[in-house]
Amino acid sequence: MKKLITILLSLTLIVLLSACGDPINSDIGESEPQQSVTNSRETGQQQNTINPIETEWAIYWYLCGSDLETHYGAATNDLVEMLEVDLPDNVKVVIQTGGAMVWQNELINADKLQRYVYDSNGLYLIEELPSASMGDPRTLTSFLSFAKENHPAKRTMVIFWNHGGGSVTGAAFDELYDMDSLTLPELYYAFTTVFGANTNNQPIDIIGFDTCLMATIDTAYTFSDIAKYLVASEELEPGNGWYYSGILNAISENPTIKPAELSKVICDTYVEGCILEGTQDNITLSVTDLSKVGNLITAYDNFGKEALANAIESPTFLTLFSRVAGSIENYGGNTREQGFTNMADLGHLARNSADILPDTFSQVLAALEDCIEYKVYGKYRKESTGLSCYYSYNGDMDDWSVYSQLGPSEAFRYLYTYGLTGTLTKDGMDYISKMNYKSLPELLTLNNVNWNDAIVTVDEEGLSTLTLGNKANEILSSITFELFYVDVEEDIMLCLGSDNDIIADWETGVFKDNFRGVWGSLDGALCYMEISYEGDDYNIYSIPILLNDEDYNLNVIYDFTTEEFYILGARKSLDESGAADKNLRSLMEGDKVQTIHFVTILSEDSDESIAVPVDTIYVTDTTSFAETELGDGLFIMIYVMTDSQGNTAYSSPVIFESIDGEIFTSVE
């Protein structure tokens, strides 16, 4: 297990540095501060330039520590992994550090940008620069230029180490500069400024993201004329990240290893490292052959064109498509409490669209299979096909407006704009006119009907039914229910969360509850639950908690094969900047966990709810998540209707009174 004590990590780094000697320019600590990061390459140019013929592999490692290093020492752990490998003369690692308030070792200075080289002679500090944002494209441009000019090689790999946020927010979030990150356009600017672009002979061999959520079709498109291979994860990565000793061992043993083979090694050693840490069940990592991305983009755009044509001819298509999107594997959470990354698996989307997009879904699957050279995934991410794509699960227009400027498919850009707003700009209308469409039909949404407080009936068996008619199939993307516990004496209504355990007949618009009087609990304490993925073999739930007084979401699997719940671990919600939490935190014996519920005051004429801690659990070696009978009390269930734009409507309440294990159902 990679449980390294900070002081030992520090001593390891210091001893190795001392053993290597000190090639640093003696004036560097006393020189005048550089005024601009983009003009700070002079010191680096004084180093001995290596003939690229002599160096087989150079790895340029952009190590933005962020809170992952400040709080967990995760970057230090990976540096120690690197130092476990003795490199041959023709392999080197060029590192830039920054982006963290605190480094959990005595070597790296958090107040500066620092550049190191690790080679057959050990680890060397070769340059120090004034602090600057690692999320600034000028900082990346400077580093890439320095590495290219001073440390070229036959083969090059660039690795980004940090948080990732997917297509919209990018990677390398710098906690010193308001979590500033490198967006895809900024990454493209930096690489093309230094290396140029060439679709037929990309200048970089491997682009690697040891971050969350960056294996997207948009990332692949961005780097398709810059690098030969992309190695990245669709899903959130656990805190242990890539296994650097395994990667460097492979290069050390075979310095002439080909990029495709090395990319596979990164994936396989990632799995190996995750197994050592017990974090393997929910991982993804893929290798994309970027020389083949052009065909995938064409297929994806054709997929979007068919969808756009169907939406114009029948606006209810958008509802059907949203139900497909709701059924596929999505990454990073996408619930109200976790936040929304709006990233979904591309291949799963195409495969599940076979009935509604019959002409193009197979084109996407074929092109995607051709692009993905290799992939690995955990047993609870088995629908992963290697690359994700954007889908707006929450209907947030700010998020969409950013994505619409970088997505590679014009057709999807206009499809989603129409779906979210009901209109198109002049450019969009010009686009559909070339498809022989002159106007857009009005969309059917929840704004067109009055289903708030829709009547619910209860039959003789105590089962409730919501009847909406055939318009439900045209309007609703999903229907779930929320469950509440009511304490009249305390004047509160406590929300227990939402689920989709409903018997649905979409053709007739008749929906019946399948409520069994049980709910999820941690060591018997009822929890607020949100479902984030519903699969054929498993469901994934998110449970907000306080873990040792810090806000987290507990990620829980319900496995239909074993008919049991399984706790994956806890993560923090999506940061306001869009950074997804890379640190999957296992529950440990002695941890204090407080369940979070959302409370509404009954006597106040307001629907406003307040998050409050309710039950406190101290974790033991037998702590588990399971279904628990609700027990005696008064409960309310409300059907929640959602359309493709994210609008919601709520039915009239169904009242469950549980007395001595018997449930009595009624409606107002």
The reported pLDDT for the residue numbered 47 is: 43
* Residues near 103 by beta carbon (within 8 Å), at least 6 away in sequence: 65, 69, 70, 75, 76, 97, 109, 110
* Residues near 533 by beta carbon (within 8 Å), at least 6 away in sequence: 329, 330, 539, 540
The reported pLDDT for the residue numbered 315 is: 85
Q: Which of 59-73, 93-107, 488-502 is least confident? A: 488-502
> Could you give the C-alpha distances from 498 to 315, 542, 576, 626, in angstroms and in order?
28, 10, 24, 16
The reported pLDDT for the residue numbered 13 is: 52
The reported pLDDT for the residue numbered 658 is: 79
- DSSP line for 198-213: -SSS-SEEEEEEESSS
Start-end of CATH 3.40.50 domains in the chain: 6-27+51-282
CA dihedral 148, 153, 154, 159 (to 10 degrees): -70
Residue 513: band (very low, low, confident or very high) from pLDDT cuts 50, 70, 90? confident
Q: How many angstroms separate the most distant Cα atoms in the chain?
A: 88
* Residues near 208 by beta carbon (within 8 Å), at least 6 away in sequence: 157, 158, 159, 160, 230, 231, 232, 242, 266
Q: Containing H/E element for 27?
A: none
Supply 494's token pair: 């406590």
Mean pLDDT score, 424-434? 96
The rounded distance, in Å, linking the Cα atoms of 369 and 459 is 50
The rounded distance, in Å, linking the Cα atoms of 268 and 429 is 47
Helix, strand counts (H, E) of the chain: 17, 33
Query: Parallel, antiparallel, or unpaired: how do β-strands 122-130 and 112-119 relate?
Result: antiparallel
Supply 11's token pair: 């001593």
What is the DSSP secondary structure assignment for residue 28, as one 8-state letter?
A: T
Residue 556 predicted with pLDDT over 70: yes
Please check whether residue 485 is in contact with residue 473, taking contact to mean a CB–CB distance below 8 angstroms. no
649 or 36, which is more confident? 649
Other residues' Cβ atoms within 10 Å of the Cβ of residue 525: 15
The reported pLDDT for the residue numbered 51 is: 53
Mean pLDDT score, 349-363? 98
What is the DSSP secondary structure assignment for residue 335, as one 8-state letter?
A: B
Residue-wise pLDDT for 262-275, tens only, equals: 999 999 999 999 99
Mean pLDDT score, 78-85? 98
Query: Parallel, antiparallel, or unpaired: how do β-strands 343-345 and 330-331 relate?
Result: antiparallel
The rounded distance, in Å, linking the Cα atoms of 389 and 301 is 12
Segments in 84-211 forming alpha helices (H): 137-150, 184-195
Distance separating the N- and C-terminal Cα atoms of the chain? 57
Per cent of the chain over pLDDT 70 is: 92
20 or 207, which is more confident? 207
Instruction: Tell me what the pLDDT averaged over the chain comes to.
Output: 90
Q: Which amino acid is at 440?
A: L
Q: Which amino acid is at 531?
A: I
Closest C-alpha among 653, 643, 356, 654 to residue 472: 643
Residue with tokens 């010009």: 430
Residue with tokens 């989307």: 349
Residue-wise pLDDT for 295-338, tens only, equals: 999 999 999 999 999 999 998 999 999 999 999 999 998 888 89
Residue-wise pLDDT for 119-144, tens only, equals: 999 999 999 999 999 999 999 999 99
Q: Report the residue count for the chain.
A: 668
Q: Right CATH number for 6-27+51-282 from 3.40.630, 2.40.10, 3.40.50, 1.10.155?
A: 3.40.50
Please check whether residue 81 is in contact with residue 155, taking contact to mean a CB–CB distance below 8 angstroms. no
Residue 28 predicted with pLDDT over 70: no
Closest C-alpha among 432, 406, 408 to residue 418: 432
The reported pLDDT for the residue numbered 659 is: 82
Residue-wise pLDDT for 586-639, tens only, equals: 999 999 999 999 999 988 877 788 999 999 999 999 999 999 988 888 999 999
The reported pLDDT for the residue numbered 46 is: 37
The rounded distance, in Å, linking the Cα atoms of 329 and 533 is 7
Residue 38 predicted with pLDDT over 50: no
CA 321 to chain CA centroid, Å, is: 22
What is the DSSP secondary structure assignment for residue 441, as one 8-state letter?
A: P
Q: What are phi and psi of 390, to 5 degrees?
A: -80, 135
What is the DSSP secondary structure assignment for residue 35, as one 8-state letter?
A: S
Buried b (16+ CB within 10 A) or exposed e, 489-509: eeebbbbbbbbeebebebeeb
Q: Containing H/E element for 214?
A: none
Query: Parallel, antiparallel, or unpaired: how do β-strands 57-64 and 91-98 relate?
Result: parallel
What is the DSSP secondary structure assignment for residue 280, as one 8-state letter?
A: G
Residue 448 predicted with pLDDT over 50: yes
The reported pLDDT for the residue numbered 19 is: 40
The reported pLDDT for the residue numbered 296 is: 98
Closest C-alpha among 111, 147, 150 to residue 131: 111
Query: Parallel, antiparallel, or unpaired: how do β-strands 372-377 and 155-161 relate?
Result: unpaired
The reported pLDDT for the residue numbered 34 is: 29
How many CA within 13 A on the CB side of residue 400? 19
The rounded distance, in Å, linking the Cα atoms of 392 and 420 is 9
Residue 667: band (very low, low, confident or very high) from pLDDT cuts 50, 70, 90? confident
56: left (phi > 0), else alpha (psi -120 to 50), else beta? alpha
Beta strands in 537-591 (DSSP E): 538-547, 550-559, 564-571
Residue 21 predicted with pLDDT over 60: no
